[in-house]
Each structure stands twice: as structure tokens, then as C-alpha cells.
């Protein structure tokens, strides 16, 4: 079990192993910022953000546990995070249902909603990218309305197309790359979520604010070639 250590303005330092320390964060956006800043210090082998915590790994052959803990305490006390409201907002066009959302009808039946109701609910609010993970660039987007809460599908797919938008467990999930997945797929965006030639290859980053916008198939095809 983790051991609580000295507190910082982030949270108590916890020991997760001989070479891993961590601290809790207020929200996923704060965790991502702190992990990035800790990474930039060059003092840690790894700096990893979770939904509610940040963890660092150090070289236990060169640095003792107490020294590493004190270094992390000092750094967390000096680092600052940007308020979530200051993060960028991006609009993501989505074509719902049909070939773009193979689970759309099943979700409608499970939730007792019409197609228009589901689309209206999914596009009504502002969301936030909590973290990237699972596969490269896969975005966990929090803030899904309770009315759209469905479990993961019973039989995960071996292949999900890039740009697919899924829902499960109170979140939307956005697939930046093709790959396996077990979320209920309700639509797809024509936006290029991954560009290997770009300075920032993935369009979405943790902390970004997101709004979904419904588009039809013709608009999807037009945007797909931009």
C-alpha cells in the first residue's frame, strides 16, 4: 500500500515503490500540466499523469528515496498550473449513425432515445479532454450527460476506424488512430486527429475543451479531403 509522506500544495507525497513517487491532483488537466513540468526538469526517468494523480520514477541506484522525495516536494511546491477555463476550445464535427456509428441504433434502443435526442444530448455541452492513453492519441473526454451513460460493448472490436467517436462509462472516447476498442461507436469525425509531419502530431491534448457538432454524410465527405 502507498505510504503518505510530506504534503505539498498538490497533495501528500506517496511512495509506490523503491523508485516511484506520486501525488494526487485536483483534476486531470492539472495532473497533465504538472507531469509535463516535472518532465521538463530533467530530474526524473519518467513523469506520468493519471486522472487524479501524477507519478515520477527516479534512478534508485543514483538517488536515495528520501532525497528523491524531498526533491519532488520542492518542485511541486514551486510549480503552477493554468486554470482549466483558460485552455483551448476545439469544435469537433461528427457524422452520427449509419456506417460512421455502427452502435448508434443499439445505443438508441438501450437508452430509449430517438436519433435526434441522442445527437442533441451529445452536442449540447462543453467537454474536456481528461487524458490521452490506451492507444496513442486516444482521448478520454469527460462530461458526458448521465442520459448517455452506457457500458462498454460485450465483444470489443479488433479494428476501429480513426476518427471514431465512442461513449462508455460516462465519457466520450475519440480514436486518433485505427485499432482495437470496446466503446459504443456512435459517429466519426473527418478531422485529421494525427499528423506525423506536424510539430504536435496529435490534434487533441489533455485539458482542451471540446464541443461536438453534428454534420451530415455529404459534409463529412467534403471535409475528409481538406
Give, rounded to a whole angstrom, the gap between the first and last alpha carbons of the chain. Answer: 51
Neighbouring C-beta atoms of residue 116, cutoff 10 Å: 10
pLDDT at position 10 is 63
Average pLDDT, the chain: 89
For residue 149, pLDDT over 90 is answered with yes
DSSP letters along 14-61, please?
EEEETTEEEEE-SSHHHHHHHHHHHHHTT--SEEEE-SSEEEEE--TT
pLDDT at position 69 is 93
pLDDT at position 7 is 56
**Nearest CA among 156, 160, 155 for reference residue 193:** 160
For the segment 193-216, the average pLDDT, to the nearest whole number, is 91
Residues sharing a CB contact under 8 Å with residue 195, sequence separation 6 or more, in sequence order: 201, 203
* pLDDT band at 108; cut points 50, 70, 90: very high
The rounded percent of the chain whose pLDDT value lies above 90 is 66
Neighbouring C-beta atoms of residue 9, cutoff 10 Å: 11
* pLDDT band at 109; cut points 50, 70, 90: very high
* pLDDT band at 50; cut points 50, 70, 90: confident
Report DSSP state, residue 175: -
8 A C-beta contact, residue 130 and residue 140: yes
**How many helices (H) and strands (E) are present in the chain, helices listed first?**
5, 14
pLDDT at position 52 is 83
pLDDT at position 225 is 78
For residue 214, pLDDT over 70 is answered with yes
pLDDT at position 2 is 44
pLDDT at position 8 is 60
Structural domains of the chain ordered from first start? 3-84 (3.30.1360.40), 87-224 (2.40.100.10)
Considering only 35-49, 76-90, 105-119, which range has the smallest mean pLDDT?
A: 76-90
Say how many residues make up the chain. 226
For residue 61, pLDDT over 70 is answered with yes
pLDDT at position 29 is 76
For the segment 77-81, the average pLDDT, to the nearest whole number, is 78
For residue 217, pLDDT over 80 is answered with yes
Amino acid at each position: 500500500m502507498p505510504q503518505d509522506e510530506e504534503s505539498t500544495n498538490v497533495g501528500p507525497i506517496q511512495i509506490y515503490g523503491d523508485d516511484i513517487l506520486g501525488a494526487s491532483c485536483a483534476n486531470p488537466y492539472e495532473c497533465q500540466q504538472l507531469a509535463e513540468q516535472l518532465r521538463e526538469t530533467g530530474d526524473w526517468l519518467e513523469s506520468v499523469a493519471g486522472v487524479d494523480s501524477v507519478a515520477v520514477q527516479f534512478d534508485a541506484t543514483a538517488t536515495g528515496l528520501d532525497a528523491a522525495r524531498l526533491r519532488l516536494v520542492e518542485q511541486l511546491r514551486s510549480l503552477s498550473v493554468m486554470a482549466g477555463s483558460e485552455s483551448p476550445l476545439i469544435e469537433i464535427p461528427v457524422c452520427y449513425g449509419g456506417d460512421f456509428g455502427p452502435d448508434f441504433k443499439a445505443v438508441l434502443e438501450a437508452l430509449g432515445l430517438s436519433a435526434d435526442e441522442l445527437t442533441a444530448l451529445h452536442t449540447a455541452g462543453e467537454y474536456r479532454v481528461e487524458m490521452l492513453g490506451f492507444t496513442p492519441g486516444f482521448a478520454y473526454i469527460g462530461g458526458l450527460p448521465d442520459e448517455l451513460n452506457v457500458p462498454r460493448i460485450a465483444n470489443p472490436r479488433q479494428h476501429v476506424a480513426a476518427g471514431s467517436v465512442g461513449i462508455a462509462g460516462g465519457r466520450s472516447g475519440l480514436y486518433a488512430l485505427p485499432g482495437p476498442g470496446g466503446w459504443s461507436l456512435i459517429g466519426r469525425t473527418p478531422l485529421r486527429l494525427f499528423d506525423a509531419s506536424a510539430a504536435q502530431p496529435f490534434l487533441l491534448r489533455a485539458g482542451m475543451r471540446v464541443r461536438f457538432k453534428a454534420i451530415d454524410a455529404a459534409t463529412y465527405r467534403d471535409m475528409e479531403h481538406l
